[in-house]
Amino acid sequence: MDGNHELATLGVRAGQARSDFNEHSEALFLTSSFVFDSARQAAGRFTGGEDGFVYSRFSNPTVSMMQDRLAALEGAEACVATASGMSAILAMSMALLKAGDHVICSNAVFGATVQLYSGILARFGVDTTFVSPTNLAQWERALRPNTRLLFLETPSNPLTEISDIAALSAVAKRAGALLAVDNAFCTPALQRPLHLGADLVIHSATKYLDGQGRVLGGAVLGSRALVMDGIFGFLRTAGPSLSPFNAWVILKGMETLELRMLAQSERALELAIWLESHPQVARVFHPGLASHPQHALASQQQRAGGAVVSFEVNGGRDAAWKVIDSTRLISITGNLGDVKTTITHPATTTHGRISPEARAAAGISEGLLRVAVGLEAVADLKADLTRGLG
Ligand SMILES: Cc1ncc(COP(=O)(O)O)c(C=O)c1O
């Protein structure tokens, strides 16, 4: 199919490759290797001189379909799927960075991303400066001659701060660096970072691309040169590859992506508006709220506010834990991106491994709760939260 279709159509149709059986639904090729007709063909496939599948660490038809569908949705030339969102960030970093390089990273990214840059990659000689996701001047001031990569999430996790992708792309370009955007919260259904000037898009497919909390997966997308020459080579050699089974689940998940993202965003905004008027709630964070500091930018950059609502309850950790422990419907789990609504206390779970100073700098207080809104009726979600809010 050509690339001129609407997003809804691409989500259902893009990337499908039928086998000789002419199946209607995409096939699951659960095989670790592929058989060759001859020694000559095996040699040709291994060297890349002949097209065809070889070994599922780096080539599998179901994984290819998933990569092609996601590339069509993001408007990317190329996509490499990985075993998880974190392995997507690792693969990108290992492929594109070397000892002596400098990274500028938003201080409001997922906790494990902070650990990866400040802990693991630092041991390999990559230095990272953390800056505010919304303060452009801080990004400019942090630039060094050896800055190679700017990395951010927007909206950020869990405070839904919005970074200006187009403005930061201009900063990166002037400095000869690359801009990578983690698009897990919005997905291409709501935001397409490559169209706004980003060089690379990262996904935790574990979240909304699957959409039903079943499998782990990740992806890196961008130009053919960046993704296929660099990141694919790392994946082929080091092997943080996506299983064909997980690829199949994510491929089918993408068929309902646009519908889910719009419906879940709508529910999240309704819940956020209600929370804003609750006497026990000190602050609510959702990009669709007029009170959100980057509401205007979010309205320009995103098609809807997304499904994550964070809010601060009066009374610190005890009050926040009371809300969690009083739920009967909402799931107490660290994951998000599910059609089942989830609730998390970021300070003691997803962001528990970063230092208290880094947590404070990222604005994650003890009273903060993150709700990732699913597809249940909003009235039932309000009733479930009301029990613990008192
Ligand atoms: C924004 C964001 N990026 C990356 C990740 C890591 O993804 P994964 O758990 O698939 O490794 C997460 C996980 O929660 C996330 O929320």
Model confidence at 346, pLDDT cuts 50, 70, 90, reads very high
Residue 79 phi, psi (nearest 5): -140, 135
pLDDT tens digits for 36-93? Answer: 999 999 999 988 899 999 999 999 999 999 999 999 999 999 999 999 999 999 999 9
Q: Is 338 in the pocket of ligand 1 (CB under 6 A)?
A: no
- Ligand 1 proximity of 201 Cβ (cutoff 6 Å): no
How many Å lie between the centroid of ligand 1 and the Cα of residue 186? 13
Establish whether residue 216 lines the binding site of ligand 1, counting it when its CB lies within 6 angstroms of any ligand atom: yes
Q: How far is the CA of 266 from the centre of ligand 1 (A)?
A: 23
214-248 pLDDT, tens digit per residue, is: 999 999 999 999 999 999 999 999 999 999 999 99
- Indicate the average pLDDT of the chain: 96
Which residues are registered as beta bridge partners of 222? 78, 200
Residue to probe by mutation, ligand 1, list 82, 84, 86, 153, most atoms within 8 Å of CB? 86
Amino acid symbol at 129: T
Centre of ligand 1 to C-alpha 37, Å, is 41
Give the number of the atom of ligand 1 that is nearest the alpha carbon of residue 350.
14
121/110 Cα distance (integer angstroms): 16
Sign of the CA dihedral running 219, 223, 227, 230: negative
Ligand 1, residue 89: give the atom nearest the CA.
4
Q: How much is the pLDDT for 176?
A: 98
Q: Would you state the pLDDT for residue 104?
A: 98
The amino acid that residue 220 corresponds to is V
Question: Is it the case that residue 152 has pLDDT exceeding 90?
Answer: yes
* Residue 312 Cβ contacting ligand 1 at under 6 Å: no
Q: Is 344 in the pocket of ligand 1 (CB under 6 A)?
A: no
User: For residue 360, what pLDDT is reported?
Assistant: 81
Q: Which atom of ligand 1 is nearest to the CA of 217?
A: 10
For the stretch 3-40, pLDDT in tens is 689 999 999 999 999 999 999 999 999 999 999 999 99
d(CA 299, ligand 1 centre) in Å: 24
Please indicate whether residue 215, judged by its CB atom, sits closer than 6 Å to ligand 1: no
Ligand 1 atom 14: the closest Cα is on which residue?
335
Look at residue 64 and give its three-state secondary structure.
helix
Rounded to the nearest angstrom, the distance between the alpha carbon of 124 and the centre of ligand 1 is: 22
Output the residue whose Cα is nearest ligand 1's atom 15.
110
How many helices (H) and strands (E) would you count in the chain?
Answer: 17, 12
Pocket test for ligand 1, best of 207, 220, 242 (most atoms within 8 A of CB): 207
Q: Is the CB of 342 under 6 A from ligand 1?
A: no
Classify 291 as helix, strand or coil: coil
Q: What pLDDT, on the 0 to 100 scale, is given for residue 14?
A: 97
Question: Starting at the edge strand that comes first in sequence, how are the strands of the sheet with 200-204 ordered?
Answer: 78-82, 218-222, 200-204, 178-182, 147-153, 102-106, 127-131
Residue 375 Cα, ligand 1 centroid: separation in angstroms? 21
Say yes or no: CB of residue 191 within 6 Å of ligand 1.
Answer: no
Give me the pLDDT at residue 1, please: 67
